[in-house]
A = this chain, B = another copy of it.
């Protein structure tokens, strides 16, 4: 990283003997995130000093950049009134996170000491479920009555700007707070004082309802690529906004979750996670997979007789199972991503299944022929068998590879489509089921083909 690390500079300022006034103005030159990164390196007394020196605006910004566990700890170190004041000035969603980390009594005391507005905003956000988009909004936005003049709107903005950060889009409401439309601040700034406000307002501006599920609306919100999207309650009253910074977090979370589920974890993990938590996140999948694996094993057991007559074929079982699994995984990954687009028609779904099968067939044909040639050569040269024997076996391998791959491609697409249909998250449920089905398909086609072709028809042994 070429950028310089501000940590050393900031530490130097804090540990210097300059007056509070100078120190404040020097610290205010830094970004809240850089100041936040210094906090864990400070002694309690130094943190207290900073909290006395900086103003509430800056402190609340800093605390928004500290992770909730640590923030709760630092707030605990200071005077409870100061802590309540900092919380009152923070973004509401961050406050909710921090308070959850505190013991119940302390939490209630702090909520009591917070200012009325902050408490009210918190209650609104807390009323939404974690999975609902409303839980991720901020009430920190500019709301302006729709029937003002440009000049009145400007002064209403100046009044609210001190307490609200998200000012680049202004939201217009009617008398009873019903959402009316939105306006770019830039248009207001360049508008002539006497022109009517109405011309600047987009009345069909996009919005979401607070109780929509994040999963359902995130793709749509991403498309608008706006600074902030208004969030309404069920009576169409404006509650707050989803900012594009929250969108970054939302997209990050959503994708991270998909990624984790895909890898067979029940949720994302990080380095600091305690051992017990990690075990808990992974064990459920492993248990399911073990159970399914046992089913596969008992099916393999049905072919014990075949293998005992022709042991060489068991050497290539892992190859065919692995390849079927790989193809299934590819199809699954593509299907899950395609399914994120809610508006898929039935015809498109059928097309997808056929396309996946066509891809699997093409790749399967290439790999099947390759296996036929190479494995035949290998058995003939290194296993001391005749080339007729060798190519009979490798022919079976090539053919079952192709068959297993085509079926895996279809299964890898159909299973997530099915889970989506019955409203089960396809990223979670599909993986193990696909592995099992593909294993079964591969085992049955490989040993079945070997049994019919090699043993019953060609009467090979060895």
Contacts and interface: CB of A to CB of B under 8 A. Distances in A.
Interface of A: 1-3, 6, 9, 25, 28-31, 33-34, 65, 157-158, 161-162, 164-168, 181, 184-186, 189-190, 199, 201-209, 212, 216-217, 220, 222-227, 243-245, 247-249, 251-252, 255-256, 258-260, 262-265, 268-271, 275, 278-279, 282-283, 285-287, 289-290, 293-294, 296-298, 300-301, 304, 307-308, 311-312, 314-319, 321-323, 326-327, 329-330, 332-334, 337-338, 341-342, 344, 348, 351-352, 355, 358-359, 362-363, 366-367, 370-371, 374-375, 378, 382-383, 435, 439, 443
B315 A297 contact: yes
A384 to B, nearest CB: 12
Copies of this chain, tallied across the complex:
2
Contact of A296 (B201, B319, B366, B378): B319
A263 B348 CA distance: 22
10 contacts: A1-B216, A3-B220, A29-B203, A161-B190, A262-B262, A263-B334, A264-B326, A265-B330, A286-B326, A318-B321
Contacts of A184: 165
Given A186-B161, A207-B3, A264 B329 contact: yes
A4 to B, nearest CB: 9
Contact of A359 (B248, B279, B359): B279
Contact of A224 (B33, B220, B262, B300): B33
Contact of A363 (B263, B279, B351, B382): B279
Contacts of A283: 363, 366
Given A248-B222, A263-B330, A337-B256, A278 B315 contact: no
A315 B304 contact: yes
Nearest to A296: B318
A260 B332 CA distance: 11
Nearest to A211: B2
Contact of A286 (B165, B189, B323): B323
Contacts of A374: 294
A344 B271 CA distance: 10
A453 to B, nearest CB: 19
A289 B33 contact: no
Given A282-B359, A293-B322, 18 more contacts: A30-B204, A65-B225, A162-B190, A166-B168, A248-B251, A262-B263, A264-B333, A271-B338, A285-B326, A290-B371, A294-B378, A296-B318, A298-B382, A300-B315, A304-B312, A308-B308, A308-B311, A311-B311
B326 A279 contact: no
Given A225-B248, A248-B248, A315-B297, A259 B258 contact: yes
